[in-house]
Amino acid sequence: MSAPEQHVFVVWPKARFVADRILGDLRCETEVVWTGEIRFEGDMSLAYRRFYGPSLPDAGRKVANCGTGPFVVAVVRDVRPEYDTPDAGGRHPFRCNVRMLGLKTKYGQWAGRSDRVHGTVTPDEFARDVEILTGRKAAEWRDGAPGGEMRPKLPDGWAAVSSLAPFASGHIAPTWGADAEERPELAGRTLFLKDKYINDAFYSGTCLGLDAVEKRSSKAIWSIGNEYRITALMYDVAPNLVPRPIAWRFAADGSWASVVTERVKGPSLAELLKRGLSDAEADSFAADVLALADALKKTGVVHRDLFADNLLLGADGHLKAIDWQLAIERASYREDPWVVRHWKFRYVVFGVNRELGLGVWNDFHALWKLLAEFPQTDFVKSVCANLSERMSGMAFSFPPDRMTRIKLALYGLSLRFQMLLRGKRHRKYAQLERRWRTVMCKWPR
């Protein structure tokens, strides 16, 4: 059983007819810390959009289903949280407090629609939501309800850190705010890359006094905030091995989101390997690889795309892992909604562990493969042996279901046909062959 934790429940306006029943049940199931009536000022559709962020597909429908006007909020303390990964029908598996999830589901049934009652199911979600709903940070609720007025503090589209001090260990949550100093702009913004896979554009510039890069996406919007959060988590554990996270933001209408991190200007590991590594460089970079593996194990993060182009040499001489947009956490695995809809992307693009089968990711295996290209000094060999010993315990598996396997097999046949039709000299042959080998690799057991 996990340690006690706090959560918040929201009974939206059209569910207020069961508010008393819900509060009564919460008093039986949890310790109710505070209850009150809250109102979002102004356009309720915009308020819902700002509260839920990019995860809300249709704010107009939310208004129709949940109503406008004041609503009921309850902050509770769960003294016996139970964590598990509930069956999600193959979509959005997510480790969470299943006791709170069960209450949220039950109250939605009482209200006649599941979306008429909102509830948090993880501490991170509570930290974000309670500050938006009451204007008081999660830390202020640790010893009970804080005194003073409770006033909503809706995000205006930005989530940023207001200082560059190291993040507090154990909990990473963006600071939401509308103050000018908490909305850093990317000065001297210059486009340097566009239309790369799921991202629309990459910009360089300066932000909070740092050389920075901004990545913007209108497809995988949820993953932008995910990159900020996971980069911050990794930065807290291994600041020398990831770019410093600065901010993330999203459009008020949910049409795009972007993340800003410190820019790493050095060459990629792929370029360094092509040039050739000295023994001293090989030992230094192998130490970085081992430290990165340790940080991944400590945080429970799986990058899923650790190949030579995603490791850049920083000005401090350390390799830094970039592109955490679609990284996942073992304890709370969740895919970006766009990735869920585009199953080929999930199972074909992430091809760094082809030998392990579709839907199996192992960062230790990917790093071990990179080290095989290093000069094989005694230290590099020892790091390879270290990773090899721990590799079996670090695999993360979520293989495709039966229907997706059939679709992938048909896709593989179409790739093979294109290869035969175009011939080996065609400019796209190598890409087609790489994807065909990924799709045709062995199925994990």
Q: State residue 442's pLDDT score.
A: 62
Q: What is the C-alpha to C-alpha distance for residues 37 and 65, in angstroms, rounded to an integer?
A: 19
**Average pLDDT in the 185-191 region?**
88
What string of H, E and C letters represents the secondary structure of the chain? CCCCEEEEEEECHHHHHHHHHHHHHHHHHCEEEEEEEECCCCCHHHHHHHHHHHHCCCHHHHHHHHCCCCEEEEEEEECCCCEECCCCCCCCCCCEEHHHHHHHHHHHHHHCCHHHEEECCCHHHHHHHHHHHHCCCHHHHCCCCCCCCCCCCCCCCEEECCCCCCCCCCCCCCEECCCHHHCCCCEEEEEEEEEECCEEEEEEEEECCEEEEEEEECCCCHHHHHHHHHHHHHHHHCCCCCCCEEEEEECCCCCCEEEEEECCCCCEHHHHHHHCCCHHHHHHHHHHHHHHHHHHHHHCEECCCCCHHHEEECCCCCEEECCCCCCEEHHHCCCCHHHHHCHHHHHHHCCCCHHHCCCEECHHHHHHHHHCCCCCCHHHHHHHHHHHHHHHHHCEECCCCHHHHHHHHHHHHHHHHHHHHHCCCCCCHHHHHHHHHHHCCCCCC
Q: What is the C-alpha to C-alpha distance for residues 98 and 407, in angstroms, rounded to an integer?
A: 33
**Average pLDDT in the 221-248 region?**
90
Mean pLDDT score of the chain: 87
Is the pLDDT confidence value at 90 over 60?
no
Class of domain 185-262 as given by CATH: alpha beta
Q: What is the C-alpha to C-alpha distance for residues 276 and 168, in angstroms, rounded to an integer?
A: 39
**Which residues have a Cβ under 8 Å from the Cβ of 81 and sit 6 or more positions away?**
1, 2, 3, 4, 5, 97, 99, 100
Q: State residue 77's pLDDT score.
A: 96
First to last CA, the chain: 30
**Local confidence band at 128 (pLDDT 50, 70, 90 cut-offs):** confident
**Local confidence band at 37 (pLDDT 50, 70, 90 cut-offs):** very high
* Phi, psi for 171 (deg, rounded to 5): -155, 125
Predicted confidence (pLDDT) per residue in 395-439, tens digit:
999 888 888 889 988 988 999 999 999 988 888 888 888 888 888
**Which residues have a Cβ under 8 Å from the Cβ of 372 and sit 6 or more positions away?**
384
Q: Which fold has domain 5-142?
A: Alpha-Beta Plaits (3.30.70)
Instruction: Extract the tokens encoding 122.
Output: 């993880």
Is the pLDDT confidence value at 443 over 60?
no
Calculate the alpha carbon distances from 403 to 195, 234, 356, 409 in Å: 30, 35, 20, 10
Calculate the alpha carbon distances from 322 to 112, 261, 268 in Å: 45, 10, 10
**Average pLDDT in the 314-334 region?**
92
69-73, 163-167, 354-358: lowest mean pLDDT where? 163-167
Question: Which residues on neighbouring strands pair with residue 215, listed in sequence order?
Answer: 202, 259
Q: State residue 357's pLDDT score.
A: 85
Q: What is the C-alpha to C-alpha distance for residues 45 and 12, in angstroms, rounded to an integer?
A: 13
Is the pLDDT confidence value at 286 over 70?
yes
Instruction: Extract the tokens encoding 365.
Output: 């295996």
Predicted confidence (pLDDT) per residue in 350-368, tens digit:
888 888 888 899 999 999 9
Is the pLDDT confidence value at 92 over 60?
no
Q: State residue 84's pLDDT score.
A: 84
Starting at the edge strand found earlier in the chain, the sheet holding 257-262 runs 175-176, 158-160, 245-250, 257-262, 210-217, 199-207, 187-196
Displacement of CA 431 from its chain's centroid (Å): 27
Q: State residue 371's pLDDT score.
A: 97
Pair 173, 163: CB distance under 8 Å:
no
Pair 366, 335: CB distance under 8 Å:
no
Q: State residue 183's pLDDT score.
A: 60
Predicted confidence (pLDDT) per residue in 129-163, tens digit:
999 999 999 999 998 999 888 999 887 665 554 43
Q: State residue 306's pLDDT score.
A: 95
Question: Which of residues 425 and 110 earns the better pLDDT score?
Answer: 110
Calculate the alpha carbon distances from 158 to 118, 174, 177, 188, 438 in Å: 22, 9, 7, 19, 38
Q: State residue 308's pLDDT score.
A: 96
**Local confidence band at 337 (pLDDT 50, 70, 90 cut-offs):** confident
Is the pLDDT confidence value at 179 over 50?
no
**Local confidence band at 164 (pLDDT 50, 70, 90 cut-offs):** very low
